[in-house]
Structure 1
Amino acid sequence: MAGLGEHITALVRSHAAGDDSVFYSVALQVAAREAKRGHHVLAEDIKQAVDNSRQITSRNNVTKLAQPRGDLAELVEVSHPQVQLRELIVSGELTTQIEQVIAEQRQRKNLLDHGFAPMYRLLLEGPPGTGKTMTASVLAHELALPMFTVRLDGLLSKYMGETGSKLRLVFDAVAERRGVYLFDEFDALGADRSGNDVGEARRILSSFLVFLEQASPESIIIAATNHRDILDRALFRRFDAVLTYDLPDARQAGAVIRARLGSLATGVSLAKLDQYTTGLSHADLVKAAEAAAKKALMRGDERVTRDDIVEALKARRSASVG
């Protein structure tokens, strides 16, 4: 049996390489070595630690799928979001819809066993910066799934002429790798093209709809668009649910600002800011809060003032209008 020094070297190398199987194998060799030397308590502790670690790794690896390879790697971007549902500030109605999706997905096996599929094809529509991408991140985190983002505008421009075959690769992955698949900027594909651009674009849209109809309920498919009005009406009935996002109202705006500022906003009134927040998206409000925070911190303060926030909101409104 190898010496302890060799075991330690092997442990470090396997850990650095991310090779769990080798790491555990070497650890068990160390346990066997200690047991042979009469150190039975230590040997049992090592074996128990290995068993516990394997269980944790098994749970975590539900989300830690291998990075996409080959052609698929050029089509999707994988991430493992850490955004919780409570961090998403949207209307109560929208929150209820998202909670329903999560609940059905958590009961997916029970539903499928009885012949019912959970909601898994979602269309998210609304102005930019209102929480659509964040919702996909929330679903991925709450369900312990990886998120695969497909940039449709890039797919169309880069692979015009072979987009259909590339889409098939993505939908094959939908069946093979459970995850949240976000088709961002969906209007690039789903626009109502009534003009002359009806050739390749129509074929791509038809391919997408066929793939969507046949898609495996193994994964969650999300199409996000900023432009509901230019989508082909036929698309809406292909989804299990359509979630509509709006600009935040005054209450939601205050919640967004306070959430981003955290302790920096302690004791600061955010009431009656609607004249400054109206027309701003969630993303705009976050940027304004960050600007106010940096201003306060750079002058040596531990709190922002209401004036800091108002000034930042005014600047953000000017930038948005401009």
Structure 2
Amino acid sequence: MAATADHIKALVQAHADGDDRNFYAVALQVAAREARQGHTRSAASLRDVIDASKAKRVRHLESVSAVPPNRELAGLLHLSHPDLGLEHMTLDPQVRDHLRRVLSEQRQRAKLGEFGFSPVHRMLLTGPPGTGKSMSAAAVACELGLPLYSIRLDGLISRFMGETAAKLRLIFDAVGRTRGVYLFDEFDALGAERIAGNDVGEARRILNSFLLFLDELEPHSLVIAATNHEGLLDRALFRRFDLMVGFDRPGQEEALEVLQRRLSLMDATQIQWTEVISEAVGLSHAELVAAAESAAKQAILGGSDVIDPAVLTVALAERRSVAGA
């Protein structure tokens, strides 16, 4: 079985960067090339090896990254293994560039370490609800082949507030022990401004504990905080993060891409997108997906795969009404 020099260079580079996704993509290109040249047995053999390797990788992740057998910690973290990467997302180009930078630094963290630098490992994602913050954290985990641990704030923030700092310590101990992506969603519940009128001394101590843990964090894992309410956050938090990424509702081109992606398995040839898009602008990614799914389900239940433009327009208008856009 022969691979071109370009394929070999790409495989070596992907291996050096720790980029499993690109490594397997190039390997599949080699298999496809073999098949085109009539070497069907070699192509099938290579595909079998790739599939077996991917399965082994998943089993390895599941075995080494399970939630530690601590009853209290298990109630604080939700473990998942995301399987959708950045290519499955519609993102603002600047946001995509920020996330690619994070991936590049994480994949080459050993190289950075040789010169005394650390990769981005503390991120703050801000923006309106439904704009892709949590999904981006999942995509980063997928791209890096890491587990995603979502922190359950309902379990973390105890009615006995003195327990919350101790639970934070448990979480950050896990961050240092088990490499992964750790997501603090709805972070304003934890990181609200310390001088807020309804604040109490214990709330200040909780936030101070979080700041201390974040300062002491080694670049072994990624900690990602996401909030819909940037203005509620304590100012001291911002300088603790290596990177802040702002999300917003999609513009015309992005909104169109979101709708077309979600309707890709349907027949959307009757839709005049220039007429539909005016109803789409101002909606979040999640609201656009909900409208597209509503139109698709009506078509399917009516015995068709053809999207009715009027039904889609009504679905978008309904989402605008609910969202107040």
- What TM-score comes out, normalization by structure 2 length? 0.79
User: What residue identity is the alignment partner of 2:97?
Assistant: T
- In the alignment, which of 280, 290, 293 is matched to residue 293 of structure 2? 290
Cα 1:116–1:265 shift into 2, 3 Å: farther
Secondary structure at the counterpart of residue 181 of structure 1: strand
Matches of 1:115 and 1:90, distance apart in 2: 32
Q: List aligned pairs for 1:1-322, cutoff 5 A.
A: 57=56, 60-62=59-61, 64=63, 65-70=65-70, 71-158=72-159, 160-194=161-195, 195-267=197-269, 268-321=271-324
Q: CA deviation at 1:305?
A: 2.1
Secondary structure at the counterpart of residue 308 of structure 1: helix
Secondary structure at the counterpart of residue 274 of structure 2: coil
| Range with greater deviation from structure 2 (232-241 or 194-203) | 194-203
Cα 1:147–1:298 shift into 2, 3 Å: same
- Once the two structures are superposed, residues 218-264 of structure 1 have per-residue CA deviations (whole angstroms, 9 ceiling, x without a partner) of 10000000001111122111100000000111111111111111131
User: What residue identity is the alignment partner of 2:84?
Assistant: V
Cα 1:259–1:164 shift into 2, 3 Å: same
Secondary structure at the counterpart of residue 124 of structure 2: strand
Q: CA deviation at 1:73?
A: 0.2
Is the CA contact 1:124–1:224 (under 8 Å) kept in the aligned structure 2? yes
| Range with greater deviation from structure 2 (305-314 or 208-217) | 305-314
Matches of 2:285 and 2:183, distance apart in 1: 20
Is the CA contact 1:153–1:185 (under 8 Å) kept in the aligned structure 2? no
Q: CA deviation at 1:68?
A: 3.5
Cα 1:257–1:54 shift into 2, 3 Å: closer
Is the CA contact 2:251–2:282 (under 8 Å) kept in the aligned structure 1? no
Secondary structure at the counterpart of residue 149 of structure 1: strand
Identity %: 48
User: What residue identity is the alignment partner of 1:98?
Assistant: L
Is the CA contact 1:94–1:243 (under 8 Å) kept in the aligned structure 2? yes
Secondary structure at the counterpart of residue 89 of structure 1: coil
Matches of 1:54 and 1:142, distance apart in 2: 16
Please provide the CA RMSD for this pair. 2.2
Cα 1:63–1:105 shift into 2, 3 Å: farther
- Once the two structures are superposed, residues 59-83 of structure 1 have per-residue CA deviations (whole angstroms, 9 ceiling, x without a partner) of 7513552234222101110000111
- Once the two structures are superposed, residues 271-301 of structure 1 have per-residue CA deviations (whole angstroms, 9 ceiling, x without a partner) of 2434312331111111111000001111111
